[in-house]
Structure 1
């Protein structure tokens, strides 16, 4: 665990779980009461919802992550922003802005709130 930059640490583990299509490992990165806003229109809550969301992602998708900004609030809260491009071998891609709120649990930093916003050049 990297205490000096929890955002980089959690996104490194998140990318490995996403690229490896490991929905159980992905769910473990989140707090039990996490709020999750992916591409679905509804906000999901809890690890099981996160696991189900990532289980439904096609297996050959990967994510390119660029951390833009990080912050900490005391010793047990952190977060930040990243740009992520989801891709698959067919040429499909979806660029998004990702924002995270992190909370330190007893053994590791975990994602408490996750939100993506698709980047579009159309208005």
Structure 2
């Protein structure tokens, strides 16, 4: 593993750990704060949405007790200020677990790393 790969994985894990913790604590605004203002977000709703307002609303309607356990399968830098990651995620829900693959792009801005693209697909 190169130092670039290790750094990309470390940075992405930092963001995804915060994401998983905010989901588990049902803090939708904190989840949304991990995204860029113009983030493209494709969760389980029929159509994608953009921006922190959409993302906060999406997570606000999720059930209390939701947890996200992820396994980062692949990461790499795609530019000096952008990372792509691919993960397997198990969303543990009170009404039954949902396994997905997750693709994210994180961008580094003046305040640190934030997710600019999020796409899940059911396994």
> Which ranges of structure 1 fall in alignment gaps of 5 or more residues?
none
TM-score by length of 1: 0.90
What corresponds to 2:12 in structure 1? 7
Matched residue of 2:115: which SS? strand
TM-score by length of 2: 0.90
1:69 is displaced (CA, Å) by: 0.3
Deviation above 6 Å: which 4+ runs of structure 1? none
1:9 is displaced (CA, Å) by: 1.1
Matched residue of 1:60: which SS? coil
Task: Give the stretch that moved more between structures: 19-28 or 3-12.
Answer: 3-12
1:89 is displaced (CA, Å) by: 4.0
Distance 1:84 1:109 in 2: 20
Instruction: Please tell me the root mean square deviation across aligned C-alpha atoms, in Å.
Output: 1.3
What corresponds to 1:82 in structure 2? 87
- TM alignment of 1:34-73, pairs within 5 A: 34-73=39-78
Task: Give the stretch that moved more between structures: 4-13 or 61-70.
Answer: 4-13
1:79 is displaced (CA, Å) by: 1.4
> Which ranges of structure 2 fall in alignment gaps of 5 or more residues?
1-5
What corresponds to 1:23 in structure 2? 28
Matched residue of 1:15: which SS? helix
Higher helix share: 2
